[in-house]
Structure 1
């Protein structure tokens, strides 16, 4: 029997290898970089990591099932601690020796009864299944800056540390978690710092009443989503006040309708005048940037914190070229035996969901020979089922939120599906 190819040895790839190994299923594991850890390895070529990066979900809820993060880790571990944790997970589960490091994949294509994986060196191997787990934050989403800007423009994928901002006049464009982090770096290190935001955001503090925010949110009773939005919206207004006083736009959406922005330090720096909030860019000339409200900034560096395209260049023909691969439950492709792991975009701790999806993938692969009727049944489900994984939340219309799922909704649906298929979940 041909085995399963796993492409990528970041969090998703390690979860996949662990799940297959637990069930005694053979696999070939490929990783293009010299070590495991994926994007969390700041030294890996093309990594989007930067020195001030930390986890935005707490260590309490973010660990792989059965493998908690060390007690001496802070509530929100640094990128280096997360990398050490992932490598510890790989070593504890004896996954390292099964990985072909320094092996990039050039192409994945359909063949009769399986898939052909061609490496960058031209060597090809055939497999019954393929799990694409090479991550999503590698291909930057570049936007056009209107006008004739003469300064330096870079995407934050190239950014590493605040030392790069010393002596610079910096404009950060975009308001995700990395944009907010880097804006705080600029507030402390640059000669002049500004952040351009086209829309307002709800700023969620990392701690509420002395506990991590995600832990706090899970300790109360489960509420209807409309009530939860009202309660947490009121709590954020109580904690943060009216953020428009700091020059920020008023949020044009309810809380939870975007990926959580876990950064209250930016509000601190805005309040101290260390950084200035500006609306969207209207025009540029030389190093002068004019914004939609008519205000201007003279900057010599524009950093684009504009996100990433969730594409898989080596499997475009199979997974598509859209903003997000077409995957059932974020993991099962419409082609039998093809899976994607690590494409889940959610408002909770993704590693738990990754481990559960990896367990489902492993059991689906096992069913192919052990329970062919169950394999066929699930293939019919993949082809016809269209679950609503939003929990009634109307996510904003943006590339990142294409395919976005709500944590409670997907967790419940995974358990429901596992029961239906007689699968077990960690």
Structure 2
């Protein structure tokens, strides 16, 4: 049965497409607004929203990145490259009819409450009203820089990973990459082939995971350990031992010991960073202390002259089209969203895809989409399930495993994937009452 309500989706990356598929299959009409000229989000490398460069591959393997009922082509490698990922996303959108609902080149400029719903503004004075809006504009929109600016002034070139498109930008230059996440590590490895010198600054110790163990993608190998050991601690100790034997213990290369358990931070999946450190092609450094011209001083007292600094210090969610006073904010400066997706003070607004979790795309895409479908249908019907959920979102504090992770800006958005999915399914069932 068709639901007599049209939903607006903001963002045509993987999450927006996934939500669109589930809405359509649930009989809920929708429009999906994409700022660029086609679907793909960060994988649309030729567009301003793209975050790709020639050597980029997924850090999650094919088996858990694909949606189970729409597998990637058999000839895709275990870790597809960014062009293959873009092809997959667009084929998913075509197969499930999402293109039929698309409004391209429509960057939302303002989202304003009106008559119990929201009015979207884009383009040259264009607007439309919807009773329910779902923001799916992704994790990697606005560059995030260190919370406290480093003392002094750097007079060389400064980029953020949002600007990185090719190693040619680094060719022949002395480069300092700041940031120890996956993007920073991947760009450091990429820089080796173009820069005259590569320094990599990180604030803490990290666990570096190879992409393969025993001929299998590492996440699959980990999952297949199952209940082989008597406790989580024993399992983690075994994994650390295997990584060390394989040459993936950063302390063996002079890097700091991590100050968190193996699963206490978003995993860094990189088979080459330590290899290049061991060969002297990447010089690891601690945190930056200050700048003076092109000289960078580090907290250990050392210094280096560099031509270019590339900040790989993360991203911020872009809600610039929404008056900040319309949202409730946590003490740490991020929106207070129930399940990281539902504003507690608005019943006609959802935010999907705003969460980090260690895992592939597939399970999260389906679960978030099914949640939105259940919410939209309950909202249209003003069902008892909706009322139960609205009461729960103002009262409940579900355990998403967040307190377990290291305290950093990016980990404010981190969750234990399995706890998050279980909670979303729990509340989806509530909505379907």
TM-score (norm 2): 0.92
Contact 1:20 1:362 in 2 (8 A): yes
Q: In 2, distance between residues paired with 1:420 and 1:369?
A: 15
Compare 325-334 and 298-307 and name the one that shifted more.
Answer: 325-334
Match of 2:285 among 278, 297, 301: 278
Q: In 2, distance between residues paired with 1:407 and 1:227?
A: 21
**Structural mapping, 1:23-422, within 5 Å:** 23-143=26-146, 144-222=149-227, 224-240=231-247, 242-315=249-322, 316-319=324-327, 324-334=334-344, 335-370=346-381, 372-390=383-401, 394-422=404-432
Shift of 1:287: 1.5
Q: In 2, distance between residues paired with 1:360 and 1:156?
A: 32
Q: In 1, distance between residues paired with 2:370 and 2:65?
A: 17
Contact 1:148 1:284 in 2 (8 A): yes
Q: In 1, distance between residues paired with 2:303 and 2:380?
A: 65
**Residues 336 and 408 (structure 1 numbering): CA distance in 2 closer, same or farther, change over 3 Å?**
same
Shift of 1:319: 4.2
Contact 2:386 2:431 in 1 (8 A): no
Structure 1 unaligned regions, length at least 5:
none
Contact 2:178 2:311 in 1 (8 A): yes
Q: In 1, distance between residues paired with 2:308 and 2:213?
A: 35
Shift of 1:219: 1.5
Contact 1:184 1:265 in 2 (8 A): yes
Partner of 1:188, secondary structure, is coil
Q: In 2, distance between residues paired with 1:213 and 1:242?
A: 15
Q: In 2, distance between residues paired with 1:179 and 1:328?
A: 30
Q: In 2, distance between residues paired with 1:11 and 1:325?
A: 22
Shift of 1:25: 0.8
Contact 1:109 1:318 in 2 (8 A): no
Shift of 1:44: 1.2
Q: In 2, distance between residues paired with 1:51 and 1:320?
A: 40
**Residues 54 and 323 (structure 1 numbering): CA distance in 2 closer, same or farther, change over 3 Å?**
farther
State the superposition RMSD in angstroms: 1.9
Q: How many residues align?
A: 422
Shift of 1:260: 0.6
**Residues 341 and 65 (structure 1 numbering): CA distance in 2 closer, same or farther, change over 3 Å?**
farther
Shift of 1:411: 2.4
Q: In 2, distance between residues paired with 1:339 and 1:396?
A: 27
Q: In 1, distance between residues paired with 2:57 and 2:366?
A: 21
Partner of 1:240, secondary structure, is coil
**Residues 262 and 241 (structure 1 numbering): CA distance in 2 closer, same or farther, change over 3 Å?**
closer
Contact 1:323 1:399 in 2 (8 A): no
Q: In 2, distance between residues paired with 1:267 and 1:323?
A: 34
Q: In 1, distance between residues paired with 2:379 and 2:248?
A: 56
Shift of 1:235: 2.8
Shift of 1:320: 5.3
Structure 2 unaligned regions, length at least 5:
none
Contact 1:197 1:249 in 2 (8 A): no
Shift of 1:102: 0.5
**Residues 319 and 346 (structure 1 numbering): CA distance in 2 closer, same or farther, change over 3 Å?**
farther
